[in-house]
Amino acid sequence: MKLATKSMLFVIAGAASASLAGITTVDFEDGLTHGWEGPQGFGGASFIDATHGVDGGAGYRTQFNNFGIDFANNTNTAFLGDYTQYDSVTISVDVKVDQIGTFLPVSRPFVLELRSFDLAQNGYPWTSVWFEFAWISQSANSEFTTFSATIINPLSTDLPAGWGGFGAEDPNTFEPILPDGVTFADVLADVDEIAFTTIEPGFFFSFDDYDVTLDNISITTTPAPSAMALLAIGGMVGTRRRR
């Protein structure tokens, strides 16, 4: 398995912090999608392939013809909600590309998008913040590649380096931006849907054939220092009571 080089990485300092991190991983080995949904319909289908995942295990595979594909989850609470309660949030996924392109192979952006329906304005379906991992293709990602992004300050009002916004349009450049008055932290406080998508805001593509598999979709959350202190105090009180 390859490790993507373009990612925002953050090493959690201290064994205590690491031990308190919450980790949820969906590997599809139980035959359930756990809320993850890929495209379905006239263009093809998304399904759990029992032998096409990492190391020959199960993976979530999409074979679809469209201008892009979108893997989204709006029901699994482990991936949703208020990210600002954490000191850091890391999201990772393993990706394998068997085909992108119809007559000739092409590359497409692979994007992590955190969406808020509550903050949607002016006819947009949602307001979101998004991070481009890389452009993926059959030649570059014929084996599973791990992509990972870490948000080290969910309370930031400014978009961190590498992140973009969606929900409005710059009147001069016509690029997607966050709506007026909406910050990075506002969106992270109200994540209604998480998606891995080739439909990068501001880009348009032709219809192509996609055969892409995801596996080991993971979120790791580290409590804020104040929450960790409360947990430590609780442990000390419990020790005294047992004496």
**DSSP for 63-127?**
EEEES--EEEESS-GGGSB-GGGEEEEEEEEEEEEEEE-SSS---EEEEEEEEESTT--TT-S-E
pLDDT surpassing 50 at residue 141: yes
Provide the pLDDT for residue 203.
87
Whether the CB-CB separation of 116 and 127 falls below 8 Å is answered with yes
Cβ burial, residue 240 (10 Å; 0-12/13-18/19+):
exposed
Provide the pLDDT for residue 70.
96
Euclidean distance between CA atoms 85 and 197, whole angstroms: 26
At 155-175, the pLDDT tens digits run 999 999 999 999 999 999 999
The set of residues, in sequence order, having a beta carbon less than 8 Å from that of 32 and lying 6+ positions away, is 48
Q: What's the pTM value of the predicted model, to 2 decimals?
A: 0.86
What average pLDDT score do residues 86-114 get?
Answer: 97
Determine the topology of domain 2-10+17-242 in CATH. Answer: Jelly Rolls (2.60.120)
Provide the pLDDT for residue 231.
43
At 183-241, the pLDDT tens digits run 999 999 999 999 999 999 988 888 899 999 999 999 999 998 755 444 443 433 333 33
Residue 54 Rama label (left phi>0; alpha psi -120 to 50; beta): beta
